[in-house]
């Protein structure tokens, strides 16, 4: 149970970080442009994670050959994420941008789970999950409206 609570807290921490990152990236996008915002976001992240990897002795980076080819899209997809946030937050506001981001994320993730794409465990869409997605779609419409 404690491990599950820790997992939930870590998930919430990621949500808090994303909610702060969105306006910060939007501010940078207004000052240095959307590409500049992506550059500073990824540059700062690369420096920090590089330092952490260095201090931890390199971790298991030697296993990079075991990564499926499509998983390397995570980096470019991250650029799309930051780019879209940098672009939409100043134009639509943090809550609308985040709502659109989260609903798209949820719908695509539901398909990934449903079909077990990319080697993930299949987690079928059931009536409860479909009702939750429908509620979020209605909520998205209310926020964006």
For 78-134, how does the pLDDT look when each residue is reduced to its tens digit (9 = 90+)?
888 888 988 998 999 888 988 898 899 999 999 999 999 999 999 999 999 999 999
Average pLDDT estimate for 24-46: 91
- For residue 20, the model assigns a pLDDT of 86
- For residue 125, the model assigns a pLDDT of 93
Nearby residues of 26 by Cβ (< 8 Å), 6 or more positions away: 37, 85, 86, 88, 89, 90, 94, 97
What is the C-alpha to C-alpha distance for residues 126 and 134, in angstroms, rounded to an integer? Answer: 12
- For residue 128, the model assigns a pLDDT of 94
By CB atoms closer than 10 A (0-12, 13-18, 19+), residue 29 is buried
Contact between 23 and 91 under an 8 Å Cβ cutoff? The reply is no
Tokens of 61: 């980076």
pLDDT value at 66 more than 90: yes
By CB atoms closer than 10 A (0-12, 13-18, 19+), residue 112 is middle
pTM: 0.75
- For residue 48, the model assigns a pLDDT of 94
């Amino acid at each position: 149970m404690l491990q599950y609570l820790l997992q939930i807290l870590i998930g919430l921490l990621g949500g808090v970080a994303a909610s702060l990152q969105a306006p910060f990236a939007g501010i940078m996008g207004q000052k240095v442009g959307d590409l500049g915002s992506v550059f500073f976001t990824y540059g700062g992240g690369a420096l920090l994670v590089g330092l952490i990897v260095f201090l931890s002795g390199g971790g298991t980076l030697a296993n990079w050959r075991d990564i499926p080819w499509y998983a390397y899209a995570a980096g470019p997809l991250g650029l799309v994420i930051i780019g879209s946030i940098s672009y939409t937050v100043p134009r639509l506001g943090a809550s609308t941008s985040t709502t659109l981001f989260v609903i798209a994320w949820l719908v695509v993730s539901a398909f990934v789970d449903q079909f077990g794409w990319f080697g993930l465990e299949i987690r079928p869409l059931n009536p409860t999950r479909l009702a939750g997605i429908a509620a979020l779609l209605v909520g998205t419409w209310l926020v964006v409206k």
